[in-house]
A and B are shown apart, each in its own frame.
Chain A
Amino acid sequence: MISNFGNTILFISAFLSSFIIYISFKNLKEDKTVLKKNIYQLCLLQSTLIILSFFILISAFITSDFSLITVYQNSHTLKPLLYKISGAWGNHEGSLLLWLIILTVFSFLFLVYNNNHPKNYRLYTLITQNFLILGFLFFLIFNSNPFSLVSPIPKEGLGLNPILQDPALAIHPPLLYIGFVGSSIYFSAAISSMLSNYQGKLFAQSIKNWVLISWSFQTIGILAGSIWAYYELGWGGFWFWDPVENASLLPWFAMTALFHSLKVLEKRNLFYFWVIILCIITFILSVTGTFLVRSGILNSVHTFANDPSRGLYILLFLSLLIFGSIFILFKKFQLNDYRINPNSKETFILVNNWFMIFYLITVLLGTIYPIFTEVLTNHKVSVGPPFYNIVIIPIVVIFLFLMSIGPNVKWIKNKFENYNLLIKILLASVLINFSIVFLFKSYSLISNFIIISSIFLIISTTLDFYKCIKKKKFNFPRLTSHLAFGFMVFFIGINHNFSFEKDFNLRLGDKEKIENYTVEFKNLNLEEFKNYKAIIGKFIIENYDKKLNLTLSPEIRIYENPNTLTYEASIRSGLLKDYYITMSNIDRSEYYNVKFQKKPFMMWIWISVIFISIGGFIRLFENEKKNY
């Protein structure tokens, strides 16, 4: 029943998309300057239907309707309700439906919110977007259908991978999808802008809020994934340069470059084609990321169950996107005569883009390089954290300095007056860094550079904040994001250098001394929960100098559906530092392997990232206020 219902809706949606394309083409040829009324209605209907089909899938998950393969493979009757629901998008098929929701809802909203822009531009955007929607609908219906049946109907489902049963991971995909699937709309707008010759400032204005929305959500989405990795994987880190993490970071770099350049297009009517290229790159990277994650071509922690036929389809779709956009770009490309003063905001934004593209290419290369060596030379190579750290970090140092100076540079032509102030800020940064080193612990040369440059950014942005308030000329969005970025790098630097990690083997009742801490293995309990059993350890951490006495309880969970062991970290988060402990059993022995970690300022890294994205939301809010 549910299957037929869901499938029918998907087919109607596919038909609707084709119809919208057809009717838009017809509308293009008409002389009228306004859009046909029924186009709005069709688009509204289209997004409503897709959302409806998503709710149908969710209801199948809630009622544990195992006649659907997707539900059977990813759910279980004993699972808590929240994870039954989030299970709907915690798998390949359901998450593609989420893709489609974003594609169609953004398509409709873009159409509605841009009614002051020309008809042809809006229609071409709609047509392009509907080609994307059709592509994904075909993929969904014929290759990854969430409403496929299984027969005979199983009595019980296989269950959701336990490490995905987590609140942060329940909201992670929707946030991230608003981010990178949201980029589809300015991809379509960019193609449309070239086709309808609607260029320049007005084009920039029509897409800038959409870029901001996707960027802000992408930032928060990456954060949610990162927090999840921190407490769920039990390794104590928050970024592993894993291919899947990289896949979410790549569009982020492109978006960041894009909305900086967009500012130049809006204010000075420059860089039009560069903006177009960035729009296209952002979406293409999003699809590439999906391809890398879903095809299983890469070895990663969070690759879903994979299937080569999926990869082939996405690859085909991806090549069509790339060749299509390159073709249009070549046909329309003109070399414009730019007159840019080397000392101007325009130049600094170009430089920002230059660095962003560098990060982008480095991360992209590191991610796909292993595939190439394996295919071409049958030689397996791992590209991991050391590579990214060595290649990227030195460049970040320069980047942070430029990021401090850039925002105060004037449009068109600038004159530096305050060299003295910069030297004072540099002096302060070096002194603060020195006091950290002197009072606490020395660290490597490159860490010194990172800390100094991030403090430099923090001080200069704080001064800007102060100036802004004095002059009553606010630019809070930019200041918030830049300041938060400075703090993020600073806290990551401190966290990296002041974390400690010790692992050792303990028996019940044993004590271990590490620096000023003692870790005592006090107790071990077996408890039964609704959908798992847990072996819960009780550890007492003491530090006599600091009068610290806390109890941490890491767990080993035994899930039966599917049959998995997970190791749950026990974390005591604080303003200054987190204490983090995990334990794992050692086969054929009464010893447990215990990993004890101290991680300073973890919470501040999360808070900084939240503020980076808050900057984006404030700008969005301001833009909206200006329009009314």
Chain B
Amino acid sequence: MKIIIIIFYFFLSFNNLNAESTVIDSGKIFKNLRCLICQGQSVADSNSDFAQTIKLVVRDQIKEGKTEKEIYRFLVEKYGEWIVYKPPLNKGNSILWLLPYLIFLIGGIMIFILLKKRPNG
């Protein structure tokens, strides 16, 4: 019974999640873009001319009705992968995205073997 209540309220908590997903949040996009002329700053955080220009470009593209993915793709084509803080998941970056989980899996298996090996006692 309790488990049912848990599941029920859990689903209630995020049933209206998808309501706002059609509006693109420009602030979030700015946070995910690197200001290319700054030292480790995002476009959102920077006051530079470059950042201002990128903000304009992104806002225009949102107005044109492009999706978030299309905007990132456009910027990557123009400035290279250096501009996005989230490296695209492609063949080149597969090590980056998969290795952590691979290590996690190996760690789990190692612990499992260690515990299994125990002579009955």
Residues of A whose CB lies within 8 Å of any CB of B are 233-237, 240, 242-243, 299-301, 303, 338-342, 347, 350-351, 354, 357-358, 361-362, 365-366, 369, 373, 377, 379-387, 390-391, 395, 423-424, 426-427, 430-431, 433-434, 437-438, 442-445, 448, 452, 501, 567, 584, 586-587, 593
Q: For B2, what are the chain A residues with a Cβ–Cβ distance below 8 Å?
A: 423-424, 427
Nearest chain B CB to A3 CB, angstrom units:
32
Could you say which residues of chain B place their CB within 8 Å of the CB of A351?
Answer: 111
Distance from B47 Cβ to chain A, minimum over Cβ atoms (Å)? 4
Q: Does the CB pair A380–B100 fall under 8 Å?
A: no
Q: Are B39 and A300 in touch, CB under 8 angstroms?
A: yes
Query: In whole Å, how far is B83's beta carbon from the nearest beta carbon of chain A?
Result: 7
> Would you list which residues of chain B between 11 and 58 have a CB under 8 Å from chain A?
12-14, 16-17, 27, 31-32, 34, 39-42, 44-45, 47, 49, 52
List 15 A-B residue pairs with CB atoms under 8 Å apart, sorted by A's residue number: A233-B45, A235-B41, A240-B40, A301-B40, A339-B119, A340-B115, A369-B95, A380-B82, A381-B81, A382-B34, A382-B82, A387-B86, A387-B96, A427-B6, A567-B47
Contacts of B49 in A (CB 8 A): 587
Residues from chain B with Cβ under 8 Å of A342 in the complex? 115
B10 to A448, Cβ gap below 8 A? yes
A357 and B81 in contact, given A339-B119, A339-B121, A437-B14 (Cβ under 8 angstroms): no
Report the Cα distance A442→B19, complex, angstroms. 10
- Residues of chain B within 8 A of A386, CB atoms compared: 32, 85-86
B39 surroundings in chain A (CB, below 8 A): 299-301, 303
| Complex Cα–Cα for A338 and B82 (A) | 47
Q: Which residue of B lies closest to A446 (CB)?
A: B14
- Contact present for B103 and A379 (CB under 8 Å): no
Give the number of residues in B that approach A within 8 Å (Cβ atoms): 51
Establish whether residues B12 and A434, one from each chain, have CB atoms under 8 Å apart when the complex forms. Answer: yes
Specify the main secondary structure of chain B where it touches its partner: helix
Closest to A445 in B: B14
**Which chain B residue has the least Cβ–Cβ distance from A429?**
B6
CA distance A234 to B38 in the complex (A): 14
A339 contacts across to B, CB distance below 8 A: 118-119, 121
CB < 8 Å: which of A234, A303, A383 contacts B96? A383
Q: Which residues of A contact B100 (CB under 8 A)?
A: 358, 361-362, 365, 391
Residue pair B12, A444 in contact (C-beta under 8 Å): no
A501 to B26, CA, bound (A): 11
CB of B29 to closest CB in A, whole Å: 11
Cβ contacts under 8 Å, A443 to chain B: 14
Contacts of B96 in A (CB 8 A): 365-366, 369, 381, 383, 387
Q: Which residues of A contact B13 (CB under 8 A)?
A: 430, 433-434, 437-438, 442, 448
Bound state CA distance, A587 and B49, in angstroms? 9
- Within 8 Å CB of B5, what residues of A? 427, 430
Contact A380 B81 (CB under 8 A): yes
* B81 adjacent to A340 (CB under 8 Å): no
Q: Are B17 and A384 in contact (CB under 8 A)?
A: no
Chain B residues with CB below 8 A from A387, complex form: 85-87, 96
* Contact (Cβ within 8 A) A381 B14: no
Contacts of A365 on B, CB cut-off 8 Å? 95-96, 99-100
Which residues of the partner chain A approach B101 to less than 8 Å between Cβ atoms?
391
Q: Are A300 and B40 in contact (CB under 8 A)?
A: yes
Shortest Cβ distance from residue B52 to the other chain A in the assembled complex, whole angstroms: 8
Chain A residue with Cβ nearest B115: A342
CB <8 Å contact, A383 and B6: no
In the complex, what residues of A have CB within 8 A of residue B6's CB?
423, 426-427, 430
Q: A381-B81, A433-B13 are in contact. Are A350 and B111 (CB under 8 A)?
A: yes
A384: which of B42, B80, B104 is its contact (CB, 8 Å)? B42
Q: Report the nearest A residue to B86, measured CB to CB.
A: A386
CA distance A354 to B104 in the complex (A): 7
**Hey, which chain B residues are within 8 Å of A341, CB to CB?**
115, 118
Residue of B nearest to A433 (CB): B13
B47 touches A358 (CB 8 A): no
Does residue B74 face the partner (Cβ distance < 8 Å to A)? no
Assess whether A442 is in contact with B14, with CB atoms less than 8 Å apart: yes
Contact of A299 among B40, B104, B108, B115 (CB under 8 A): B40
List B contacts of A593 (CB < 8 A): 47
Residues in B neighbouring A361, C-beta threshold 8 A? 99-100, 103
Beyond the given A236-B45, A386-B85, A501-B27, please list 14 additional residue pairs across the A-B interface where CB-CB is below 8 A: A234-B45, A339-B118, A347-B111, A361-B99, A366-B96, A381-B81, A390-B86, A395-B104, A433-B10, A434-B9, A434-B13, A442-B16, A442-B17, A443-B14
A354 contact set on B, CB distance < 8 A: 104, 107-108, 111
